[in-house]
A and B are shown apart, each in its own frame.
Chain A
């Protein structure tokens, strides 16, 4: 089965510019996640979708970050305007479901987009 696809793989922009990342999850996966991973740290959840609805965006800097999941499949994450501290790898992941406390929730990650803000 095809994995999670992300593009672009690398992006370099100047601060205050805008950037967008794209993610195509594994077919049939209802839950989609965007994570930010700063060098030397673990992934930090930015936003979680269940189908095309947002179920958690508590750590998304909403003044500059936005995300959408069209028709419950592909997703885009946008940063506008970018700051130096946004330099990180942005990981997209998907899973079959995340409901119920005891439900199995293996996440499948894409290769990530490395963003450098100068």
Chain B
């Protein structure tokens, strides 16, 4: 069966440390993968996209890796801050019938403590 798995338990880290979130998937062949941030009571906000032929992308304190052999993406936040506390969703882009659509994981809640 097709699955997207993210750490179900909350990730608690100290301010200044690097947070690493994992997204694993099975039986999908995504064209690309996206990471979104979701705060309570709000819609998801796009953070980064990485294509199937890319290994790593960076944006400021964020870094995403994508290993299509392992079927895994890692999302890193360096020098984390309490303001980074939120739920982070990975989403696979599947191409079918001439259109892309996103399949979301359940998300991982990150809590950064001062």
Contacts and interface: CB of A to CB of B under 8 A. Distances in A.
Co-assembled chains A and B = yes
Interface of A: 4, 40-45, 48, 50, 55-56, 91, 93, 98-112
B61 interface: no
Contacts of A105: 32, 34, 49, 93, 100, 102
Contacts of A91: 43-44
Secondary structure call for the A interface: loop
Contacts of A50: 99
22 contacts: A42-B91, A43-B89, A43-B104, A45-B101, A45-B102, A55-B99, A56-B97, A91-B44, A98-B99, A98-B100, A99-B98, A99-B100, A100-B100, A101-B31, A101-B95, A105-B32, A105-B100, A105-B102, A106-B49, A107-B44, A107-B102, A112-B41
A99 B93 CA distance: 11
Interface in B38-94: 41-46, 49, 51, 89, 91, 93
Contacts of A42: 4, 89, 91, 104-107
Contact of B106 (A40, A98, A99, A100): A40
A100 B31 CA distance: 10
A55 B94 CA distance: 13
B41 A111 contact: yes
Nearest to B95: A101
Given A40-B106, A42-B105, A102-B51, A109 B45 contact: yes
